[in-house]
């Protein structure tokens, strides 16, 4: 199918009423950009699970002890500052200025990648993405983000990637069929409409993927942490049904490629009685099952200790997270509202109501901000000391 025909179908891509709302949303976003708001704790508002709102801006938050550190900040940092942050990184668990009670995962009160071996293994996994630098990359959920960020900063690494928020799933592993759909856990029609709007706005929708393939010949990489593959299966159902409504389902199947990362040793721990374990893969949802042969899958195994520090450690996951289950698809825009671990949609709605007039808010705890910025520094510093840091790069984190 040619692009012109897809363009014609794209005006009807939701297959619901009021389809023009997507185009209006995109137009409104490009016409105005309201200031970022970092939420304060609303009066009388209480949270559980060590969740609180952070006041002040991301760059000059008085509640944080570690400043914002990204590529640009690292490049202008003097050697004395680097020495100071190296010490703070290695002594994070003893740092009196950081409240460890604000961390999400109490099992990990130290920073990851402190040994030469674990850092080498981390960079080894990050460099996997370098081979896909000429292809669009969709980072599905938060799990691969640190590896992609490292590739973004690395000599010979990628120039960009697209983060697509996606949490939870409605498929479960099934011994006979691979996966089984739980209908009562699946998104509603209203939620699906909202998520399609989100995909369209960030140009991660099937139409944009097929269009890029036809114009360049390059498939779009969809990358995620793969164990049972149930999360990616759920996402592919959304994308497949969307593509089917556009009339480009087969073209879509020929325009994507799956790159999974994970740990076979971790799988062995999960299944100690298994004689032999299959390499993890994504099982296709019914909508894409007839086109399964079109979708190439690759899986990369990683060191178990590093895997534990960078994926099982919820602090590492949390400080880059946007929690976006289908219950939230009608509540907020994940590229503008950084939710952390607030999982009560009622609370999120109350916060949003009190912050009308602001498009973007964020509320990680001060400790989680510090954790994120120290880890940013550590990865950048290790790349620089190995001569692997890009000499010039405009950060897109």
Higher pLDDT, 35 or 357: 357
For the chain, the average pLDDT equals: 82
**DSSP secondary structure, 242-286, as one string:** HHHHHT-HHHHHTTEEEEEEE-HHHHHHH-TT-S--PPP-PPPPG
- Give the model's pLDDT for residue 60: 41
CA nearest to 280, candidates 267, 289, 294: 267
At what angle are helices 145-153 and 116-126 packed, to 10 degrees?
80
- Which residue has 């040994």 as its token pair? 115
For the cut 90, the answer to whether the pLDDT of residue 385 exceeds it is yes
End-to-end CA gap in the chain: 35
Average pLDDT of the segment spanning 231-260: 97
pLDDT digits (tens, 9 = 90+) for 316-331: 877 666 778 898 898 8
pTM of the predicted model as reported, rounded to 2 decimal places: 0.82
pLDDT-derived band at 78, boundaries 50, 70, 90: very high
Neighbouring residues of 288: CB distance < 8 A, sequence distance ≥ 6: 236, 237, 240, 249, 253, 295
For the cut 50, the answer to whether the pLDDT of residue 128 exceeds it is yes
Q: What is the DSSP letter of 133?
A: T
pLDDT digits (tens, 9 = 90+) for 187-207: 999 999 999 999 999 999 999
C-alpha 389/C-alpha 285 separation (Å) is 40
pLDDT digits (tens, 9 = 90+) for 28-44: 444 444 443 333 333 33
Higher pLDDT, 128 or 97: 128
To 5 degrees, how large is the angle CA 296–CA 301–CA 303? 165
Higher pLDDT, 361 or 312: 312
To 5 degrees, how large is the angle CA 212–CA 213–CA 215? 65
For the cut 70, the answer to whether the pLDDT of residue 23 exceeds it is no
Average pLDDT of the segment spanning 244-269: 96
- % of the chain at pLDDT higher than 90: 56
- Which residue has 């012109």 as its token pair? 4
Alpha helices by DSSP H, listed for the chain, are 3-10, 20-31, 71-75, 79-90, 116-126, 145-153, 189-201, 206-216, 230-246, 249-253, 264-270, 304-307, 314-318, 345-354, 366-385
- Which residue has 């009807």 as its token pair? 12
C-alpha 305/C-alpha 291 separation (Å) is 37
């Amino acid at each position: 199918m040619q692009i012109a025909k897809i363009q014609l179908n794209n005006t009807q891509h939701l297959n619901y009423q009021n389809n023009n709302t997507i185009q209006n949303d995109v137009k409104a976003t490009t016409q105005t950009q309201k200031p970022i708001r970092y939420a304060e704790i609303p009066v009388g508002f209480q949270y559980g699970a060590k969740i609180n709102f952070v006041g002040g801006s991301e760059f000059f938050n008085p509640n944080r002890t570690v400043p914002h550190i990204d590529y640009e900040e690292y490049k202008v940092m003097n050697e004395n500052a680097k020495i100071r942050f190296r010490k703070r990184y290695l002594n994070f668990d003893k740092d009196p200025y950081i409240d460890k009670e604000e961390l999400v995962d109490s099992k990990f009160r130290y920073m990851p990648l402190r040994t030469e071996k674990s850092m080498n293994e981390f960079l080894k996994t990050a460099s996997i993405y370098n081979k896909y630098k000429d292809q669009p990359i969709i980072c599905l959920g938060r799990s691969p983000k640190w590896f992609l960020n490292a590739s973004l900063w690395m000599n010979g690494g990628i120039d960009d990637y697209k983060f697509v928020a996606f949490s939870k799933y409605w498929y479960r592993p099934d011994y006979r069929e691979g996966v089984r759909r739980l209908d009562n856990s699946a998104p509603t029609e209203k939620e699906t409409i909202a998520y399609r709007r989100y995909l369209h706005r960030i140009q991660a929708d099937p139409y944009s993927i097929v269009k890029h393939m036809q114009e360049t010949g390059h498939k779009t990489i969809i990358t995620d942490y793969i164990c049972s593959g149930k999360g990616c299966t759920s996402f592919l159902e959304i994308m497949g049904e969307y593509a089917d409504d556009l009339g480009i389902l087969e073209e879509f199947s020929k325009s994507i490629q799956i790159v999974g990362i994970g740990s076979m040793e971790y799988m062995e721990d999960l299944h100690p009685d298994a004689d032999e374990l299959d390499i993890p893969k994504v099982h296709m949802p019914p909508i894409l099952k007839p086109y399964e042969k079109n979708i190439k899958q690759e899986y990369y195994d990683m060191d178990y200790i590093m895997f534990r520090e960078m994926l099982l450690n919820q602090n590492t996951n949390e400080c880059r997270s946007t929690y976006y289950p289908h219950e939230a698809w009608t509540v907020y825009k994940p590229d503008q509202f950084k939710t952390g671990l607030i999982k009560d949609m009622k609370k999120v709605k109350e916060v949003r109501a009190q912050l009308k007039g602001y498009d973007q808010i964020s509320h990680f705890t001060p400790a989680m901000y510090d954790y994120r910025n120290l880890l940013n520094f550590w990865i950048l510093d290790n790349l620089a000391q190995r001569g692997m840091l890009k000499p010039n790069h405009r950060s897109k984190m």
